[in-house]
Structure 1
Amino acid sequence: FHQYLLAKNEEAPWINYATGLGIVERNAGSDWWLRRKRFQVNQDATFFVDDWMGTHEFKAGFGFEYAWHTQDSFYYQDPVFEGVFPAGYKAVDIEHSDGFPYWVWVGEEIKKRSNLIQTGFFVQDAWSPSKNFTINFGLRYDYSRHWYPPQEKKYTGEIVNSESIVTFTSHTISPRLGINFDPVGDGKTVFKTHYGRYYAPVNLLNFWWGNPAMRRSFWANLNPDWTVNYTAWHSDPSAIDVDANIIPGYADEINFGIEREIIEDLSLSVTFIAKW
């Protein structure tokens, strides 16, 4: 996956509030290169047994994923701000009223990376001790780990983090149990019940802004001669903290249902579902 968001020219964006609407002039953005690469393996196998206290359909499988995401940026600064701000910072998004300056956004150009490993294993069995009774049970284990590798600032070479920072690690176990039963034995009625635990994917956006190589930024209030009056609204990724003990959310679900064939190709069913 690659996404490139490129500015339409090499001028800094100006935003004119003379009409009160904020009209973007000269440019409409900066250059962003977002890349996500992934190595993934998935495999499963099924094995049938016909003479062990009934029939069995055993299935087992695993999945492995190693993914990494990088973000690179380049800003087009107005020449009036050359040498005004620290190395690595550029002043863009100039707010003004017909040339009378108000504010300018100042931020670091960045190059950052994050890594993710996910792996999972599952086993399950569909056991039919008789032709009208089937028990389905299974178990799944999942492991996830997200971290920031050693990084440095894009232009200054300053070390941001000399060692990897692990932001998230989780181990989850998901059980499954289900029963299908034909109480009449004519193949037209089935009673179903099922229990399972389901984990939600972890929202990795929680870790997007907390990357130590994420940009630092602030707004500079401008004097009429375009010099800096003062700065405000400083943004720093070190101010963002994610609980080290965070775990994926999950829901337990149980359901009961019955289905009956009324005529060929037409059936009626009723199901009760509870989640908590």
Structure 2
Amino acid sequence: MTIIFNAKTGEAYHLKVLSELLSNNLKTGCFEINKDGFVLRMMDNNRKTLIDLNLSSENFSLYRFTAKNKLHIGLNLNHFHKMLKSIKKKDSIQLYIDENEINDLAIKAIPKENTRVTTSYIKIQNIQNIDIDIPTGYGKPVIVLSSEFQKMCKDMITIGSSIKVSFSEFQITFNCDSGGILKRTVEFGENDTSIDKQTDYTQEISTEQLTRITKIAGLSTNMQIFSAPNLPLLFRSNVGSLGKISIYIKSKEQIEKENFQGEVEYDSE
């Protein structure tokens, strides 16, 4: 057996949560693997959500990459999550690829007691990934407790199909309205009483889009929310101590603008 890629970590549970988060947003994922770690940068099928993931090799307890060229592995993310579903909080995990079984990713789940080591295999697919530019121009983030963000998402989905997100310098406000019958407002960040409170701008996003990323709360204690006019809403979190994930969600206005531009370009052809 000649192993060309081998990575092990005691943070199996964080990878399990990550796999569920990814599968809630993407059907398949194209991971680039090299000596520096894992990278995934993809949009969902509707091009409304962009996920940018980076897990650094130096954060794994064991990481060895001996392939001559970087690897691009495509995975069915529902199958990947299914393989990790039984992992518990204190388990370890080992991912590896054998040169003689180049089309299989091996997933070894190792319980804390080391009593029952399970190795599963998932077929690697050939997936063409498109180069995507990351939006830039954001200012300072609002720091949010991940558990509070998760509670808000669960509450909002029962109230309305869209959420208005308002931004000021140190604060972000989520507002959901069900035709005036039910309303809820949740504020995150600091209320600077030394200046008059002023809303800089407001975006409207789909509640369904927000609930798809709720699992980000299981990756770290805190998360960051960035905003800027005419840019997608950016949610960023550590993935345990393994790396970072950034999720960009487009507002309804941005989606409508892009759809209109697409129609104009189509009509001009």
TM-score, normalised on structure 2?
A: 0.20
Larger Rg: 1
The structure with the largest strand share of the pair is 1
